[in-house]
Structure 1
Amino acid sequence: MTSVKTEVVGSALWIRLNRPERRNAYDEAMAREIAEILDDAAAYRAVVVTGEGGSFCAGGALSNLSRPTKSEMRRLYSASLKLFDAVRGCPRPVIAAVNGPAAGGGNELIVACDLAVAGRSATFGQTGPRVGSAPVTGATNVMGVQIGEKRAKELSLLCRRYSAEQALDMGLVNAVVDDDQVEATARAWCEELAALSPRYLEIAKISSNIWWNAARDSFSNGVGMLIQAIGSEDMIEGATAFLEKRKPTFAAPE
């Protein structure tokens, strides 16, 4: 199965995450493939990221966390950070067309995107502390700029799920539409962008990265801490419980 599909719609490049059997969660290879596509997207006027099979993106593939090796997990963390940096570094506006659940790194992917439209049935939220990880590549830093620090901590620490309307109220997405209008809305936005100067859109986008760039050391430090925790009891219990569809039982703090 092709993990990532691409198509050109008008002057825009569409990237479709295509692992519906795992809710479009990405592994190292898939994250790097998306990043490479984004790195080569300058010929288009806009980029749209969406998911196949009724899901947007469930973040990193948790099967790796339940039986981790340091080398595999280092590569996954590195690829995840490369993916988000590629969204921010892409010279064209990147639109998230959220057509289903966005969780964990999938929610952070929306944080990285420039614009986001969601279907009414879409859901949002972070999962890190529930599954033996932490959302250090967007949710604990840049998302606070987007939706406010207290709200961002609520998402990162409590691991709740939020509706599309709640995401709109928080400022996580720009618009909520009927599910069957998500792609049409993204296409309409692409047409608006195509009428504007790509040169000055790029200047505006790169200039807007000031908070992302300021948080970049936080990303690297957070990933470093995650690497040191590879194979911890909490990581294995959280991921295993998720895969077994049960509540995790974490040990009391030492």
Structure 2
Amino acid sequence: MRVDVAVDGAVGTLTLDAPPLNLLSDDLRRALLDALSDFRARRLRAVIVTGRGRAFCAGADLRDEAKLTAEQVQAFLDADEAVFTALAEFPGATIAAVNGYAYGGGFELALACDIRVAARAARFAGVGVKLGLTVSTARLPRLVGEGAALDLLLTGRTVDADEAQGLGLVSAVADDVEAEARRCADVVASRAPLSVQANKVGLRHCARLPLAEAVTYERGEWARLQRTRDHREAVSAFFAKRPPEFRGE
């Protein structure tokens, strides 16, 4: 097992533990997918992904990548994308607690999460141009805009935590990144689960639509959620001046 799995209440934590750089391997990918599947079945409301040691994840092992035949390349790429998609499509929030190096595929792993928080030692880089490859051209510009993404991807330069926050790549920089990620996870876990999921799906779906179609979609989701038990509970709790008890119903 290359991933430590922990559950505390409605929050799951996945800690990459493949020293020294937490490189993506078949074992690590499989462990992440298995854990995320289990978390989904248990209806956890938030997931934290972090790394042990000096790296969050430094990407794929170049020794493995160099051995790929033309027939194996697509399966190799699909294996990575399966993990990234599982994070992006998880019903609750996924939070990357970036403790150190997030390079290449590790950068993409962080980008696939909904929210990113960084330790002061965190470093980010899309290193494709340094390896004669391409990576992060799909997700990165959606987060930081085309101009900033071109700067990072055409130079392959490394970004520290403060610059990452300035670019909007991370939402917070913290001395204790796991505590900050847990604080964020607890906040999301206290919200209405169906609403959290609808906001995740809706934001990404609406980004691909013309404005009028996006507004129509959003109004349809509002009407759907307005009929849920959780909405009625929220209104009742508001007037009773008590915390709501959301069930995802």
Q: Please, what TM-score do these two structures have when normalized by structure 2?
A: 0.78
RMSD: 1.8
Could you say if the C-alpha distance between residues 71 and 32 of structure 1 is closer, same or farther in structure 2, counting changes exceeding 3 Å? farther
Partner of 2:28: 30
- Residue correspondence of structure 1 range 10-159 to structure 2 within 5 A: 10-21=9-20, 23-42=21-40, 43-135=43-135, 139-159=136-156
In structure 2, stretches of 5+ residues that fail to align are 210-249
- Shift in Å at residue 74 of structure 1? 2.7
Distance in structure 1 (CA, Å) of the matches to 2:144 and 2:138: 11
Q: Provide the identity percentage.
A: 34
- Shift in Å at residue 3 of structure 1? 1.0
Letter in 2 for 1:7: A
Distance in structure 1 (CA, Å) of the matches to 2:71 and 2:27: 14
Q: Does 1:6 align with 2:5?
A: yes
Distance in structure 2 (CA, Å) of the matches to 1:29 and 1:5: 12
What does the per-residue CA deviation read over 1:141-192, in whole Å, with 9 as the maximum and x for residues that have no partner?
23112101011112112110011000000011000011xx111111111211
Distance in structure 2 (CA, Å) of the matches to 1:191 and 1:19: 27
Distance in structure 2 (CA, Å) of the matches to 1:11 and 1:45: 5
Could you say if the C-alpha distance between residues 32 and 59 of structure 1 is closer, same or farther in structure 2, counting changes exceeding 3 Å? same
- In the alignment, which of 171, 175, 192 is matched to residue 174 of structure 1? 171
The structure, 1 or 2, with the larger RCO (C-alpha pairs under 8 Å, 6+ apart) is 1
Distance in structure 2 (CA, Å) of the matches to 1:200 and 1:36: 25
- Shift in Å at residue 84 of structure 1? 0.9
Could you say if the C-alpha distance between residues 91 and 24 of structure 1 is closer, same or farther in structure 2, counting changes exceeding 3 Å? same
Letter in 1 for 2:148: R
Look up the SS of the partner of 2:56 in the other structure.
Answer: coil
Distance in structure 2 (CA, Å) of the matches to 1:77 and 1:105: 10
Distance in structure 2 (CA, Å) of the matches to 1:211 and 1:3: 36
What does the per-residue CA deviation read over 1:99-118, in whole Å, with 9 as the maximum and x for residues that have no partner?
01100111111211111110
- In the alignment, which of 174, 178, 182 is matched to residue 183 of structure 1? 178
Look up the SS of the partner of 1:40 in the other structure.
Answer: helix
> Does the CA contact (< 8 Å) of 2:45 and 2:91 recur in 1?
no
Q: Please, what TM-score do these two structures have when normalized by structure 1?
A: 0.76
Larger Rg: 2
Distance in structure 2 (CA, Å) of the matches to 1:213 and 1:109: 22
Look up the SS of the partner of 2:97 in the other structure.
Answer: strand
Partner of 1:242: none
Distance in structure 1 (CA, Å) of the matches to 2:132 and 2:194: 42
Distance in structure 2 (CA, Å) of the matches to 1:53 and 1:158: 27
Distance in structure 2 (CA, Å) of the matches to 1:211 and 1:160: 31
Could you say if the C-alpha distance between residues 177 and 206 of structure 1 is closer, same or farther in structure 2, counting changes exceeding 3 Å? same
> Does the CA contact (< 8 Å) of 1:35 and 1:83 recur in 2?
yes
Distance in structure 2 (CA, Å) of the matches to 1:85 and 1:186: 21
> Does the CA contact (< 8 Å) of 1:145 and 1:211 recur in 2?
no
Look up the SS of the partner of 1:144 in the other structure.
Answer: helix
> Does the CA contact (< 8 Å) of 1:41 and 1:92 recur in 2?
no
Q: Does 1:208 align with 2:207?
A: no
- Shift in Å at residue 98 of structure 1? 0.5
What does the per-residue CA deviation read over 1:45-91, in whole Å, with 9 as the maximum and x for residues that have no partner?
10000001221011122111223223443322111111111111111
In structure 1, stretches of 5+ residues that fail to align are 215-254
> Does the CA contact (< 8 Å) of 2:95 and 2:115 recur in 1?
yes
Partner of 2:157: 160
- Shift in Å at residue 211 of structure 1? 7.3
Look up the SS of the partner of 2:186 in the other structure.
Answer: helix
